Amino acid sequence: MTFQPPVECPICRETLALDRTLEDHLVGAHTQRELARYLAALNERIEIRPLSD
Question: Could you give the CA distance from residue 35 to residue 6 in angstroms, rounded to a whole number?
Answer: 21
Measured from the Cβ of residue 9, the count of other Cβ atoms closer than 10 Å reads 15
pTM, rounded to two decimals: 0.72
Give tens-digit pLDDT for 19-46.
999 999 999 999 999 999 999 999 888 7
Beta-bridge partners for 15 = 8
Question: Could you give the CA distance from residue 35 to residue 3 in angstroms, rounded to a whole number?
Answer: 29
- What residue segments make up the domains of the chain, in order of their start? 1-48
- The DSSP-derived string for 7-53 is PB-TTT-PBPPTT--HHHHHHHHS-HHHHHHHHHHHHHHH----TT-
